[in-house]
Amino acid sequence: MAPAKAADQHRSALLVMVLTLGLLIAAVAVTGGMIASSMRTRPVTLAAPLHIYPVTQVNPGQCPAGTQGITGQSGMGPTCYRLAQGIAIHKVADLRVQKSPARPGGYDVAVTLRPIDREAFASLTRATVGRDLAFVVRNRLVTLPRVDMAITDGKVVVTGPPDRTAANKLVGQLKGK
Protein backbone atom coordinates (compact mmCIF):
# COMPACT_ATOMS: atom_id res chain seq x y z
CA MET A 1 0.00 0.00 0.00
CA ALA A 2 2.88 2.38 0.66
CA PRO A 3 4.05 2.49 -3.00
CA ALA A 4 0.50 3.29 -4.20
CA LYS A 5 0.17 6.06 -1.60
CA ALA A 6 3.56 7.51 -2.62
CA ALA A 7 2.53 7.42 -6.30
CA ASP A 8 -0.69 9.29 -5.45
CA GLN A 9 1.29 11.92 -3.54
CA HIS A 10 3.68 12.32 -6.50
CA ARG A 11 0.74 12.69 -8.88
CA SER A 12 -0.84 15.28 -6.58
CA ALA A 13 2.42 17.20 -6.34
CA LEU A 14 2.86 17.01 -10.11
CA LEU A 15 -0.70 18.28 -10.64
CA VAL A 16 -0.09 21.20 -8.24
CA MET A 17 3.13 22.07 -10.10
CA VAL A 18 1.40 21.94 -13.50
CA LEU A 19 -1.49 24.12 -12.27
CA THR A 20 0.94 26.60 -10.65
CA LEU A 21 3.00 26.76 -13.84
CA GLY A 22 -0.18 27.29 -15.89
CA LEU A 23 -1.30 30.13 -13.63
CA LEU A 24 2.16 31.71 -13.82
CA ILE A 25 2.14 31.56 -17.63
CA ALA A 26 -1.35 33.08 -17.72
CA ALA A 27 -0.29 35.87 -15.35
CA VAL A 28 2.74 36.69 -17.50
CA ALA A 29 0.60 36.71 -20.66
CA VAL A 30 -2.02 39.00 -19.12
CA THR A 31 0.61 41.36 -17.69
CA GLY A 32 2.47 41.45 -21.02
CA GLY A 33 -0.77 42.22 -22.83
CA MET A 34 -1.56 45.04 -20.40
CA ILE A 35 1.91 46.53 -20.83
CA ALA A 36 1.71 46.27 -24.62
CA SER A 37 -1.73 47.88 -24.74
CA SER A 38 -0.61 50.72 -22.48
CA MET A 39 2.27 51.44 -24.88
CA ARG A 40 -0.07 51.83 -27.85
CA THR A 41 -1.15 55.33 -28.61
CA ARG A 42 -4.43 56.67 -29.83
CA PRO A 43 -4.55 59.08 -32.73
CA VAL A 44 -4.38 62.72 -31.64
CA THR A 45 -6.96 64.96 -33.29
CA LEU A 46 -5.45 68.41 -33.63
CA ALA A 47 -7.63 71.37 -32.57
CA ALA A 48 -6.54 73.16 -35.76
CA PRO A 49 -4.84 71.76 -38.85
CA LEU A 50 -1.06 71.65 -38.84
CA HIS A 51 0.12 73.12 -42.14
CA ILE A 52 3.62 72.21 -43.24
CA TYR A 53 5.20 74.33 -45.97
CA PRO A 54 8.64 74.35 -47.58
CA VAL A 55 10.41 77.67 -47.01
CA THR A 56 11.65 79.06 -50.35
CA GLN A 57 13.08 82.39 -49.24
CA VAL A 58 13.82 84.32 -46.05
CA ASN A 59 13.73 88.14 -45.95
CA PRO A 60 14.04 90.53 -43.01
CA GLY A 61 10.88 92.38 -42.00
CA GLN A 62 7.15 91.75 -42.35
CA CYS A 63 5.79 89.90 -45.39
CA PRO A 64 4.26 92.36 -47.87
CA ALA A 65 0.51 92.07 -48.40
CA GLY A 66 -0.34 89.44 -50.98
CA THR A 67 2.91 87.51 -50.43
CA GLN A 68 2.61 83.75 -50.12
CA GLY A 69 4.46 83.64 -46.84
CA ILE A 70 4.27 84.08 -43.11
CA THR A 71 5.94 86.52 -40.77
CA GLY A 72 7.75 85.04 -37.82
CA GLN A 73 10.42 86.10 -35.36
CA SER A 74 14.10 85.34 -35.81
CA GLY A 75 17.15 86.48 -33.88
CA MET A 76 17.06 89.71 -35.91
CA GLY A 77 13.39 90.54 -35.38
CA PRO A 78 10.41 90.10 -37.73
CA THR A 79 11.24 87.87 -40.69
CA CYS A 80 9.25 87.02 -43.82
CA TYR A 81 9.33 83.34 -44.71
CA ARG A 82 8.13 82.79 -48.26
CA LEU A 83 6.37 79.46 -48.62
CA ALA A 84 5.71 76.91 -51.35
CA GLN A 85 2.76 74.50 -51.58
CA GLY A 86 2.57 72.30 -48.50
CA ILE A 87 0.35 69.80 -46.75
CA ALA A 88 -2.28 69.97 -44.00
CA ILE A 89 -2.45 67.40 -41.21
CA HIS A 90 -5.58 67.03 -39.07
CA LYS A 91 -4.64 64.01 -36.93
CA VAL A 92 -1.38 62.39 -35.92
CA ALA A 93 -0.73 58.91 -34.56
CA ASP A 94 1.32 60.31 -31.68
CA LEU A 95 2.58 63.68 -30.44
CA ARG A 96 4.73 63.88 -27.32
CA VAL A 97 7.81 65.17 -25.56
CA GLN A 98 10.71 62.75 -25.32
CA LYS A 99 14.20 62.86 -23.85
CA SER A 100 16.70 63.77 -26.53
CA PRO A 101 19.04 60.93 -27.47
CA ALA A 102 21.42 63.46 -29.04
CA ARG A 103 21.46 66.11 -26.30
CA PRO A 104 21.95 64.79 -22.74
CA GLY A 105 19.41 66.48 -20.47
CA GLY A 106 17.58 67.92 -23.49
CA TYR A 107 14.13 67.24 -24.89
CA ASP A 108 12.67 66.79 -28.36
CA VAL A 109 9.13 66.73 -29.69
CA ALA A 110 8.22 63.48 -31.45
CA VAL A 111 5.42 63.44 -34.00
CA THR A 112 4.30 60.19 -35.57
CA LEU A 113 2.22 60.67 -38.67
CA ARG A 114 -0.66 58.43 -39.62
CA PRO A 115 -0.13 56.20 -42.69
CA ILE A 116 -2.47 58.43 -44.73
CA ASP A 117 -0.09 61.43 -44.35
CA ARG A 118 3.26 59.63 -44.50
CA GLU A 119 3.73 59.55 -48.29
CA ALA A 120 2.88 63.24 -48.76
CA PHE A 121 5.28 64.16 -45.95
CA ALA A 122 7.97 61.87 -47.40
CA SER A 123 7.64 63.62 -50.78
CA LEU A 124 7.80 66.99 -49.09
CA THR A 125 10.94 66.14 -47.13
CA ARG A 126 12.64 64.50 -50.13
CA ALA A 127 12.27 67.81 -51.97
CA THR A 128 13.47 69.97 -49.05
CA VAL A 129 16.58 68.24 -47.68
CA GLY A 130 18.89 70.95 -46.37
CA ARG A 131 16.09 73.52 -46.18
CA ASP A 132 13.52 74.57 -43.60
CA LEU A 133 9.89 73.56 -43.22
CA ALA A 134 7.43 75.99 -41.68
CA PHE A 135 5.01 74.36 -39.23
CA VAL A 136 2.03 76.72 -39.16
CA VAL A 137 -1.08 76.50 -36.97
CA ARG A 138 -3.88 79.08 -37.16
CA ASN A 139 -1.77 81.25 -39.51
CA ARG A 140 0.99 81.40 -36.91
CA LEU A 141 4.51 80.08 -37.37
CA VAL A 142 5.03 77.51 -34.61
CA THR A 143 8.43 76.07 -35.48
CA LEU A 144 10.87 76.06 -38.36
CA PRO A 145 12.80 72.77 -38.40
CA ARG A 146 15.56 72.08 -40.92
CA VAL A 147 15.17 68.89 -42.94
CA ASP A 148 18.39 66.91 -42.51
CA MET A 149 17.19 63.92 -44.53
CA ALA A 150 14.04 62.62 -46.18
CA ILE A 151 11.61 61.29 -43.58
CA THR A 152 9.87 58.31 -45.11
CA ASP A 153 8.68 56.43 -42.00
CA GLY A 154 6.41 59.20 -40.68
CA LYS A 155 8.46 59.68 -37.50
CA VAL A 156 9.34 63.35 -37.17
CA VAL A 157 11.58 64.61 -34.38
CA VAL A 158 11.69 68.35 -33.78
CA THR A 159 14.85 69.11 -31.85
CA GLY A 160 15.74 72.34 -30.16
CA PRO A 161 13.38 73.08 -27.27
CA PRO A 162 15.77 74.22 -24.51
CA ASP A 163 13.90 72.43 -21.72
CA ARG A 164 10.87 70.27 -20.93
CA THR A 165 8.64 73.32 -20.38
CA ALA A 166 9.44 74.68 -23.85
CA ALA A 167 8.95 71.22 -25.38
CA ASN A 168 5.52 70.89 -23.69
CA LYS A 169 4.60 74.35 -24.97
CA LEU A 170 5.58 73.32 -28.50
CA VAL A 171 3.40 70.20 -28.26
CA GLY A 172 0.46 72.38 -27.20
CA GLN A 173 1.05 74.76 -30.11
CA LEU A 174 1.27 71.90 -32.61
CA LYS A 175 -2.01 70.55 -31.24
CA GLY A 176 -3.58 73.94 -31.98
CA LYS A 177 -4.24 74.86 -28.35
pLDDT for 67 equals: 87
CB 122 within 8 A of CB 152: yes
pLDDT for 84 equals: 96
pLDDT for 24 equals: 61
Q: Sketch the domain layout of the chain as residue ranges.
A: 1-40, 44-174
Contacts of 46 (CB under 8 A, 6+ apart): 89, 90, 91, 92, 137, 174, 175, 176
Contacts of 85 (CB under 8 A, 6+ apart): 53, 54
pLDDT for 39 equals: 47
Ranges of the chain whose pLDDT falls below 50: 36-39
pTM: 0.75
- For 17-62, the pLDDT digits (tens) are 666 665 667 556 666 555 544 445 688 999 999 999 999 999 999 9
- Read off φ and ψ for residue 16, nearest 5 degrees: -60, -40
Burial track 113-122 (b if 16+ CB lie within 10 A, e otherwise):
beeebbeebb
Element (H, E) at 125: helix 115-127
pLDDT for 37 equals: 43
**For the domain 44-174, what is the CATH code?**
3.30.1360.200
Element (H, E) at 59: strand 44-60
Q: Give me the residues paired with residue 98 across strands.
A: 108
